[in-house]
Structure 1
């Protein structure tokens, strides 16, 4: 059993609750009523109402009196972090070149807790039912980028992840057994890349490679996604064979750029 870490005496519960309200909004919950926010956060209606109206007064949330939505001001919370990072700026132009060459959508992400978070994205065609932008999150276990990021974790951190993660079968193909996932991550670590075939969403296939720091540690991941119907027109192994060297070449360029900064 994983030990629950209790907040220390420096923990500000009201701040944590306010952030929980902001995080309750996502691609599937763009607009919510007070009751829906209360249910998703576990807060009472009265508490949720206070936080929502505080966020309205601060400009982070808008309301028509019945439903609530985030405003563009919340982007400042994320961009203040991204602005201090060199990685998105390094990745973006290389993704543009890669996407133009492959004629497919390409992305880069980092691991944040049990999720991947997109830090760069070049969109060529709509594949998923959910739109993907910078800041979009997906569960790491069911994504190609998540698997190369998980495979790059130190052994103790991977053990902790497998002990706590809730592995839901998102599609009939999803690996949702911790033992099978560990075996797959061992394979990914050994070969240096990951292929996920319709495990996050039916019809979506993607291949990913790690982005390495100069010291060899995994700092991010890079992927190319394609529709399963498109890959069916060609042999899947052939599609991966053609994309993989290009992904690896871009990853190497990013590592070289990171090395030049040190």
Structure 2
């Protein structure tokens, strides 16, 4: 690794801040800590842990148990959370928090027919994602089958540095934004093929920027290969990424480049025309 990369690496915190520590570190007098804690409690739930105890939520977020208890009590009173003894889970009403975004954003409104068309053409799962914090957030998806051990749906999140969607988005970051990203993210291996050095990821992003697409082979999960392209708004800025994921044993890299890439590029262009 060169000197500049070493300098960047040395700036990284030795220990990532918990959600609670990040909240407490904010000094804006207008910032509502209680609201931030409530949102953090909601985000603690996931596909893997749909039911959680107060202690488990406290451990996941770093928020004191007493504060977690108050958040859950409030959310339960408002109809967003249910409880079975000491186990808490989200109720369907929680979907209303995200529906306004999905129904009012031109990108998500326009995307689904396009994704369905791509999925039918290639008979593979197609997804659209945006960048959020240090991860990619799925805002639309058309699935033909489940190809990952973890189910992906609208609202799912994955790391950006080792996914095709994430690399397409990161490749179009400014240098300052990219430096901030690497300062905040922990590069960890999901498989023995995951690139976890900052220099290595930066080199890949440079190639993605030059080629106009990202191809990731089994870095997030063994057996998964995916390819993604950028989606640009009217200003020309990249605002989202569009991808196809398939089983690596069934779809080779050459087929993805020659057959899947042109279909994705046409889909991205179709979405760009529809966006303001």
TM bucket (normalised to shorter chain) is over 0.9
Structure 1 residue 203 corresponds to structure 2 residue 223? yes
For structure 1, the residue ranges without an aligned partner over 5 or more in a row are none
Name the SS of the counterpart of 1:171 in structure 2.
coil
Question: Deviations along 1:139-175, whole A, 9 cap, x unmatched?
Answer: 1111100000011112211121122211111111111
The one-character-per-residue Cα deviations of 1:89-125 (angstroms, maximum 9, x if unpaired) are 1111011111001000001010011111111100101
1:80 is displaced (CA, Å) by 1.6
Q: 2:175 aligns with which of 155, 166, 172?
A: 155
Q: What SS does structure 1 have at the residue aligned with 2:249?
A: helix
1:240 aligns with 2:257: yes
| Aligned-partner Cα distance in 2 for 1:199–1:2 | 23
Matched residue, 2:82: 62
Give 1:248 shift. 0.2
Aligned residue number for residue 239 of structure 2: 219
| Alignment map for 1:137-156 (pairs within 5 Å) | 137-156=157-176
Cα distance in structure 2, aligned partners of 1:240 and 1:53:
51
TM norm structure 2:
0.89
> What is the CA-CA distance between 1:238 and the residue it aligns to?
2.5
Supply the distance in 2 between the matched residues of 1:131 and 1:172 (Cα, whole angstroms).
22
Q: Alpha-carbon deviation of 1:6?
A: 3.0
* Distance in 1 of aligned mates of 2:109 and 2:101: 13
Counterpart in 1 of 2:192? 172
| TM-aligned CA deviation for residue 38 of structure 1 | 1.3
3-state SS of 1:230 partner: coil
Provide the TM-score with structure 1 as the length reference: 0.94
Query: Could you say what the CA RMSD is over the residues aligned between the two structures, in angstroms?
Result: 1.5
Q: Distance in 2 between matches of 1:46 and 1:160?
A: 33
Distance 2:171 2:109 in 1: 25
Alpha-carbon distance in 2 for matches of 1:6, 1:20:
15
The alpha carbon displacement at 1:46 in A equals 1.9
> Equivalents in 2 of 1:186, 1:176: separation in Å?
16
CA contact (8 A) 2:128 2:139 kept: yes
Distance 2:243 2:73 in 1: 40
The Cα shift of 1:2 comes to 6.7
Residue equivalent to 2:18: none
